[in-house]
């Protein structure tokens, strides 16, 4: 094969990002209870979890937007003293029920969080919130367009610097980079929980292979 038969190419990667105001809040919480017997811990957890679910629904959260993310029962042990050769003693059982809820009214999300915590009492754990979009399709289209423009600009910069010509596209691949939702953890919930969604981001990446030629 001669040198003229070898296709000369370059590969560039472009990234496109689009930021917009989020319209979905994802609330992650858990109900955690403990008792001497596993059955008692589970019974109490069921009661508290039912109260939390009821509070979420009473404040407009639809059942299809609530999902169980975890259910565990594990022993609670008493750590032995130093130099004690006895195995750890089981002193009770802990039950943890994790839930996630999609809140479609961000303006009222603070009241929903307050209600869930009040319903579950000390058994409630707010593990964090994140923001996203109900329908990110239009943002994804724009992010893809920006990624393509970015890849094209990078390719032209490379060939201009190398003194060669830019030919046609010979390959292209893409990947969704997801987004950049802001995540906040709550150690405690105030009387009126502040919820500030700001802007979230949709990002997309394309990798384009171009043929190059000598000018």
- Residue 197: the pLDDT is 73
pTM score of the predicted model: 0.72
Least confident of 17-26, 40-49, 184-193: 184-193
CA–CA dist 5, 2 (Å, integer): 5
**Please, which pLDDT band fits residue 84 given cuts at 50, 70 and 90?**
confident
Please determine, for residue 147, whether its predicted confidence score (pLDDT) is greater than 90: yes
- Residue 98: the pLDDT is 97
In the chain the domains, ranked by start, together with CATH numbers, are: 3-20+136-184+201-214 (3.30.110.170), 24-132 (3.30.70.2970)
- Residue 192: the pLDDT is 55
Q: What is the pLDDT of residues 92-140, one digit of tens each?
A: 999 999 999 999 998 899 999 999 999 999 999 999 999 989 999 999 9
Chain centroid to CA 8: 41
Q: What is the pLDDT of residues 30-58, one digit of tens each?
A: 999 999 999 999 999 999 999 999 999 99
Backbone angles phi, psi at 57, to 5 degrees: -70, -40
In the predicted model, what is the mean pLDDT of the chain?
Answer: 89
- Residue 113: the pLDDT is 94
- Residue 1: the pLDDT is 43
Residue whose C-alpha is closest to residue 99's, from 74, 71, 136, 138 = 71
Mean predicted confidence (pLDDT) in 196-214? 90
**Please, which pLDDT band fits residue 198 given cuts at 50, 70 and 90?**
confident
């Amino acid at each position: 094969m001669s040198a003229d038969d070898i296709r000369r190419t370059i590969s560039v990667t472009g990234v496109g990002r689009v930021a917009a105001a989020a319209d979905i809040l994802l609330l992650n919480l858990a109900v955690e209870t403990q008792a001497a017997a596993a059955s008692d811990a589970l019974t109490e957890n069921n009661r508290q979890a039912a109260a939390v679910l009821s509070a979420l629904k009473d404040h407009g959260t639809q059942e299809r937007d609530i999902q169980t993310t975890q259910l565990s029962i594990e022993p609670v042990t008493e750590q032995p003293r130093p130099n004690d050769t006895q195995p750890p003693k089981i002193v009770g059982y802990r039950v943890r029920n994790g839930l996630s809820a999609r809140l479609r009214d961000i303006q009222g999300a603070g009241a929903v969080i307050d209600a869930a915590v009040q319903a579950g009492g000390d058994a409630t754990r707010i593990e964090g919130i994140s923001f996203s979009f109900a329908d990110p399709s239009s943002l994804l289209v724009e992010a893809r367009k920006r990624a393509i423009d970015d890849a094209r600009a990078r390719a032209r910069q490379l060939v201009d610097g190398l003194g060669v010509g830019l030919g046609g596209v010979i390959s292209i691949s893409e990947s969704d980079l997801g987004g950049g939702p802001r995540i906040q953890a709550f150690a405690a919930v105030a009387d009126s929980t502040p919820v500030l969604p700001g802007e979230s981001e949709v990002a997309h990446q394309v990798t384009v292979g171009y043929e190059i030629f000598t000018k």
